[in-house]
Every structure is written in C-alpha cells, then in structure tokens.
Chain A
Amino acid sequence: MNMDELLRSIWTAEECQAMASASGAAAPGGGAAEGGLQRQGSLTLPRTLSIKTVDEVWRAFEREASPGDTGGGGSGGRGEQQPRRQPTLGEMTLEEFLVRAGVVRENPAAAAAMVAAAAAPPVAPRSIQAVNNSSIFFGNYGAATDAAGAGTLGFSPVGIGDPTMGNGLVSGVAGMGGGAITVASVDTSVGQMDSVGKGDGDLSSPMAPVPYPFEGVIRGRRTGGNVEKVVERRQRRMIKNRESAARSRARKQAYTMELEAEVQKLKEQNMELQKKQEEMMEMQKILFPDMQKNQVIYFGQTSVCDSIHLSDT
C-alpha cells in the first residue's frame, strides 16, 4: 500500500469524525468547518510521497531515529531528544504518522482560522502524552522556525519544536491550547524555501502543491478512561473503511472488465458481419453485374444473394 492509498482509505472516516466533533470542539469559526472539510475532500499527495509505500516511510522514520543519522541539519536540541525517540515510535498514532511523513501539515493560526477555522477536534490524552514525550515528531520535522515566518509557537509546556533550533526558516509552527493541539503549517512558499534552503529532514517535496490542511491531526478527548476504546473503535472503523474501499475498487474493476469483454465481443461480431457483407457484395457483383446500378434492387435482392451464397459454399 502506498501513501496515496493509505490516505484515501482513511480519509472518509476522518472526515466524518471531524464533522461530528466539530461542534464540540469549540472552534471560533465552527460554522466554517463544514466547508473547509469538504474542500479537503479532493486530495493530492506530493508526487514523491504518494508513490512511497507506507513501509518505506516507516523505514525512513527508523533511519531518522537511529543515532548515527542526526548530523547535518540537526541541531543540539534534536540530538538531545534522540534517546527519547525510540520508545515512542511503537505507539505512534495514525495522525502522527501522517504528520511525520509530510502528508499533513497543520495550518498556521491565521490560515487555520481562514480555511477551516475549526475543528481542532479533541485530543486523546494518550496522544498528547506521546507528543510530549517525543518532541521529535515536530522537531524532526524540519520545523525550523523563521522569525519572519509568522511562526507563532504556543507550545510552552511541551517545548515541541524549539524555535531556536531553526536555521532561520519557518516550516512548522505548533500551537497548543487547552488540551487541543494544533500544529501550524507551512504554506507552499515556505515549504519550498525550506526544502531548497535546507533540504533536510523534510519528506515533502518542493513539488507539493499545497500541504494538506489537516485540522485536528491530533485530537483531544476530554476523558481519560476510554482512550483505549476510542483507539480501538477508530482502528476498527479504519479497517472497515479499507475493506469497503477494496470492495469498491473490485466492483469498479469487475464492471470495467465486463464492459471491455463486451466491447471485444461486439468488435469481433462487427468485423465478422462486415466481412460477410463484403463477401456478399462481391458475390453480387459477379452474379448480377447489372444490378449494381440500382441500389434499391440491390437491397431488395440481399436475401436472394444470401441463399445463393450459402448454396454455393
């Protein structure tokens, strides 16, 4: 499965969920949520990313996580976080996976307000925990912060994505407020600057048209007790959705095959009939040369020709 498929398979579920929780999530522009979410329906992945398989992305993470690889663009802050990284890899949520893979970037506060003003759906406490322990998700991300880049980082308690580590470019901005984490994002131009200037740690390609606005990548849930249930339910829903997507693909393919077979059959039939007609015309030329002049008679005589033809052979 490549990233494109993964994304497609989870999208519908995510959308429904986000819609459902939009109202509860208390976005200032809650009303806009629906429009924003619908707009998100048409997704295209950066080409370089979409062809990657999920496994490849995972491997890339693991490579990133291995201590030897920190060099280059990394900063001191990143190095420090290194040891804490490993344990969190195991319990990465889908959202985190997507964020790290560069599929999803959250909007900067401004954009978020504008586009999908919204739905910062609730966060599962566990995911927060995971994020807290592992600033890497963002730090790693090449999420260096540019002073000019409107990168407001409301992240004090967690200290994710330390602004100082930046190379002077903004790519990610994270804001955390009241239990819901929203991570801000790069818009295209910044993203390009980022990869061009730094070319480090960022999986998204400069070709990427627009990073997905993806509000509520990390959602909060008010209660702590039923996290397991929520996660399980979400997983089950994801699996169901994947199955359903597979069925849908199969349905489409089956119908296409049926139609193709039909076309083939009709083509053959058509060719056969054309050949027959040609033969008949030849026959007629030989048998009734004078009749060629008169089309009406020609058609009127077809059956006669046919029988002659048949009796001949």
Chain B
Amino acid sequence: MARFVDPLVVGRVIGEVVDLFVPSISMTAAYGDRDISNGCLVRPSAAEYPPLVHISGRRNDLYTLIMTDPDAPSPSDPSMREYLHWLVVNIPGGTDASKGEEMVEYMGPRPPVGIHRYVLVLFEQKARFVDGAMMPPAERPNFNTRAFAAHHHLGLPTAVVYFNSQREPANRRR
C-alpha cells in the first residue's frame, strides 16, 4: 500500500497539504482523455474545465473533493498557500464529482510563476452536508485543507492525486 503514497511524500504533498494517510478509495481524474497520474504535467489550457473525477466507494457514502494549489503565487514563496480551486461536497460513492454539489466553482490552474502542484484531495464525509451546514470559505487564497477538514470533521483523506502545471508561453496558448 505504501507505494501508492510514495510519490505524494516525495512530491511533498503529504506534509505540505495533507498528513500521512492510507488510501481507502480509488479516485481517477482525467482532463478530457488525459488521465492524471501523480506528478504529471498538465497544461493550463488543457485544464480550463473541471476534470472528470471518478471515485469508488459505496453509493450511500458521501465524499468531499478539494482541489488546491499549495504553491501560490510562487513555489519559492508560497505566501498564499493554499489557493482553493474547487470544492465539491456530497459526492456519492461510485460516481463522479459532477454528481456532487459544487460549493466553490472550479477554477483552472493559472500559475503565474514556477511549476505549481495542484492537489485533488478526497475526504469521506461523516454525514450529508445539508443547506447551511457547510460554510464554504469566502476566499480562495490562504485556504488550509487540514484546517478545513478538521473544522468539518472529515478526518484524514481517503484519496489524493496531484499534477503539476506551469504557465504556458503566450504563443502556445490557444
């Protein structure tokens, strides 16, 4: 099992975004037909629209998905760590993120400086977030996954995947 976590440790996702955890749910994410594996490079233009995030798990369980950038605005000086890109709650197990409720609208990666990591973190919810039970953060910058999880009793993540993205030269942008 440990080997599924290793890239996250080396990529310092475990440590800087989440604590050490044991994956219990399988999560696959793909931008179009491009599957995301840990550490792969995704062009911002390929990630303009939300990825298809499919999760395993039982239909009765509900999950929260967070996409966050711990390297904002620059990896060497992440003064905004973390920058929240996406927050979806109440995703039933065995489905994909589009079946959940989007609390913070998806925003594609727009790394101004350096190569940023974009981390998709999945938590299992203890219960359904009904209206008003979940206050989404007011701002995207300076989001904290750990604090958010603690505040909403989400515990440790059940699955994490991350990719890298780098600002594209202007002439390559479409």
Contact = CB atoms under 8 A, between A and B. Distances in A.
Answer whether A and B are interacting partners: yes
Interface of A: 240, 243-244, 247-248, 250-251, 253-255, 257-259, 261-262, 264
A69 B164 CA distance: 53
B21 interface: no
Contacts of A250: 10-12
B10 A261 contact: no
Interface in B33-61: 37-40
9 contacts: A244-B76, A247-B115, A251-B115, A253-B10, A254-B10, A254-B39, A255-B38, A258-B37, A261-B7
A261 B6 contact: yes
A244 B7 contact: no
B4 interface: yes
A180 B92 CA distance: 70
A208 B110 CA distance: 45
B12 A258 contact: no
Given A254-B10, A259-B37, A261-B4, 13 more contacts: A243-B76, A244-B114, A247-B75, A247-B115, A250-B11, A254-B8, A255-B39, A255-B40, A257-B10, A258-B39, A261-B3, A261-B6, A261-B7
Interface residues of B, number: 17
Contacts of A259: 37
A257 B4 CA distance: 9
B83 to A, nearest CB: 17
Contacts of A247: 75, 115
B77 to A, nearest CB: 9
A43 B121 CA distance: 41
B115 A258 contact: no
Contacts, number: 44
Given A243-B76, A244-B75, A251 B164 contact: yes
A262 B75 contact: no
A256 to B, nearest CB: 8
Contact of A258 (B7, B76, B114): B7
Given A244-B76, A247-B75, A250-B11, A258 B38 contact: yes
Interface in B1-18: 3-4, 6-8, 10-12
A142 B115 CA distance: 44
Given A251-B164, A253-B10, A254-B11, A240 B76 contact: yes
B6 to A, nearest CB: 5
A52 B137 CA distance: 51
A254 B76 contact: no
Contacts of B164: 251
Contacts of B114: 244
Interface in B66-85: 75-76
Nearest to A248: B115
B56 to A, nearest CB: 15
A247 B74 CA distance: 12
Nearest to B77: A240
Across the A-B interface, give the 9 residue pairs with the lowest CB-CB distance, nearest first: A255-B39, A254-B11, A254-B10, A258-B38, A258-B7, A254-B7, A254-B39, A257-B7, A261-B3
A62 to B, nearest CB: 33
